[in-house]
Structure 1
Amino acid sequence: NRFLSVELSAFYIDACKDRIYCDAENDPGRRSAQTTMHEILDTLVRLAAPVLAFTAEEAWETLTEKKKGSIHLQTFREVGLPSGWNGEEEARWEKLLAVRAKVNEALEKERQAKKIGKSLEAEVLLEGGGLRSEDGGLLEEICLVSQLEIKAGAGEVVVKVAPARGTRCARCWKYEESVGRDPEHPELCERCAKVVKEAAA
């Protein structure tokens, strides 16, 4: 239950919504999220089949080609960590999730003070904590904020929250300074305008 309601629904799916809905169709980040969700669903349907027989059968028919046969004739999958996964990667994610928890606390304080509404209305500055600049994009995604900047430093991480810069994009809902630069799509940010043009081509 914790995996489905916390790790999957409240965290992973929420964090991936932007890339699933807003990135280009064949963007590697979008495709990797789709693949991950497919693998999770495939495994969960197999696990649920003995208990939720009819529901699992319907889900399986939607998920696969019918030539694979009934879900009740499938075997359980062997699930393991990816080949490149190691202790360092696990420690990195523990650190990022701890930072996310601190960011969420800071965002909630700003909400209570009526300085922001949704997290996408915020810009976050992280100082210290030994964070790497290359973690900025990932933290921005998992914290669900419009902008996130990392300033190197040692010691405990310090979180500062300010209203996001720019204008809200009508497509991704992020606040971006690039909104309005594209004359064909003045209501969209640079990324969304590019994706829309590519899709229409």
Structure 2
Amino acid sequence: MNDSIRDLRKDYTLASLNEVNPDPIQQFDAWLHEAIDAKIPEPNGMTVSTVGDNGRPTNRVVLLRGFNAEGFVFFTNYLSRKGQDIAARPVACMSFWWPELERQVRIEGTIEKVSPEESDAYFASRPRDSQLSAASSPQSEVIESKDILFDRMEELEQQHPEELPRPEHWGGYRLVPDYFEFWQGGPARLHDRFAFTLQDGQWKIERLAP
């Protein structure tokens, strides 16, 4: 084992978590706003984990773009690896890590596509370059060179000098949660963990051992 990794340690001492909001959406909202107020870089960055037909999990970091009582929304290429995983097994897990606050949140649930209208509205709000790159990239596919992407972007720019329509292969997903876990780091590795499990339409709250 590499000694430089083995000896890396941090004691968590910033806060304790003795009680939580009975509504996990409100608890998440409070923590996210505290992360924003703390000026954490990209506080809406999250790891999204999926499982494909082969049974192997994979994850990647994407950006949360909205949430409410219906679920948590992000946008991507439907033909990408995560899109193919979701088509095969429409479940996922989202993980947020805010080291400056010594906090983690994990959210699990089922995945569904957002409405075309919602995807259209978000795509229209994106910067022009982001629109062009999303429309140009065959995400997760093998390409010979990056020049292919630049050529495709230039072609689309000429074809659509004003408004670029959202490509059919790109849009939003909504994770509909049935499980939350809120983690607050604690001294001596005695972290605080609270789990919310949806049972018969109600959230059951339990404290977990660290």
TM-score by length of 2: 0.27
More helix by share: 1
Structure richer in strand, relative to its length: 2
| Higher RCO, Cα 8 Å, sep 6+ | 2
Q: TM-score, normalised by structure 1?
A: 0.28
